[in-house]
Chain A
Amino acid sequence: MMLQSIRKYETFVDRSNPITKIGLAAVLFLTVVLIHNPNYLFHLSLLLLLAMIILSGVKLRYLAALIAVMLLLGSISSLYMIFYGEGTTTLYSFGIIHITEESFVRGIHVMMRGLAVSFFGALIIFTTRITDVFYSLMQQLSLKPKYAYSFMAAVRMVPIIISEYVVLRQARKVRRALIHKKYVTGMKGFKTTIITLLSQSIRRAYRLGIAMESKGFDDGPRTYYHRTSFSISDIYLLLFIGACIFMSFQLGQIITPFETTDAR
């Protein structure tokens, strides 16, 4: 797999069950939404950043590029609040833009929420195989096989869909003199592209689906060659994330980069 080539080592996160990781990601998301003190959130996102760097085992230059992109996207997505949020202490005002101290801190707070969740999300992506997610969903949470297998089969079709798109574009380029421009660019071009891709994919999925049904990839009890289970690594990960949240609450009271304790 492509991701494995940019990694140097494996950690206990690789060995923990995908369900634990997804569950913890959901818990983390809820925690982040409930935190209103930017100081707590600052330390939590910092700790999760460190966790991503150390536990993912990904080479540093790739991580650096990823973090740069995350920071850029995060700051762009907080602009709406910085520019148009309510507040009393004006820092800067130009036309309809009205930056206040309150809205600035709130914007940074929203950005840190996104970053904290993304850091842990990236850690999960680097340490989890997609097929394992479905195997453990079937084995530990008894998801019906027809959902799991159709998802796994569909994921394998994504490269085909992408190559089909490339071929479609090349075909249009070759016939450029014959096709009116409005069928290539703009709304019409968009529609014809999507319809072509969708219809081909539906045909392919239909054939594959019939084949898989006749091979018995349907409901009913089955046995598995790949087995997934919970292990001690899941407890390590649980304790680790718990410790991160606890530490951020403790550190947030000692080291306070923000003056306010409530971003609202």
Chain B
Amino acid sequence: MASRKGLTLTDVLITVVIALVFAIIYSIWGGVYTMLQPLGLHLNELVYGMWFIAAVVAYLIIRKPGVAIIAEFAAASGETIVMLQFDVMLMLYGLLQGLACEIVFAIVRYKSTALMVAVTAGVAAALSTLPLDWYYGYLGQLETWNLVLMIGFRVLSGALIAGWLAHALYRGLGETGVLKLVGARSPHRSEEL
């Protein structure tokens, strides 16, 4: 069992629990995002990257196919549970953002934990939902300078929060020793509890 290739129940459970920790943060983050909105100038987009962080952190920890999608989808649906508001749009966004990260991780074949991979995934996730926003929020009808500002802020935020911060969290988790439980799955894992 220790060397099983696909996702085991334990892998899925750890992924979902990581996602739900972030779901709580997402819910609090929603308040930060809303408070920044009336300031205009899309300052709120600077915190947008937090919403992709679950996928990147879960991937860095488990590094198996499918983890990024499950994590981001679970975090998005977890957010709807914590907020007591079922939101299809949120889940769709989660799915798309998870998929974008997943593609980046598939390209590096689920091996690399480099900072650049995390940053690329964050940027990919930031770009992934723009088409949806374009239709939903009529972004094409925004004044051009404003639109450029918004996209720029969002990509920057994806790189910084979902990329750099996620990687920093991963390194911090490594120091706690908890990653020995999930990463390589050594045969004497019972000693590591």
Interface residues of A (CB under 8 A from B): 3, 22, 25-26, 28-29, 33, 73, 76-77, 79-81, 83-86, 96-98, 102-103, 106, 109-110, 113, 117-118, 121-122, 124-125, 128, 130, 146-147, 149-151, 153-155, 157-158, 161-162, 191-192, 194-195, 197-199, 201-210, 212-213, 217-218, 263-264
Contacts and interface: CB of A to CB of B under 8 A. Distances in A.
Contacts of A217: 9
B184 interface: no
A35 to B, nearest CB: 11
B142 A202 contact: no
Given A84-B142, A86-B142, A29 B86 contact: no
A198 B86 contact: no
Which 4 A-B pairs give the minimum distances between C-beta atoms? Answer: A209-B10, A121-B86, A150-B13, A154-B16
Contacts of B150: 80
Contact of B37 (A79, A84, A96, A150): A79
A125 B85 contact: yes
A264 B168 CA distance: 43
A150 B7 CA distance: 12
A84 B1 contact: no
Interface of B: 1, 7-21, 23-25, 34, 37-38, 40-42, 57, 61, 70, 74, 78, 80-82, 84-89, 92, 135-138, 141-143, 146, 150, 165, 168-169, 172-173, 176, 178, 181-182, 193
Contacts of B85: 118, 121-122, 125
A204 B74 CA distance: 18
Contact of B9 (A25, A146, A155, A199): A146
Contact of A147 (B1, B40, B70): B70
Contact of B84 (A76, A125, A151): A125
Nearest to A196: B176
A86 B143 CA distance: 5
B20 A158 contact: yes
B137 to A, nearest CB: 6
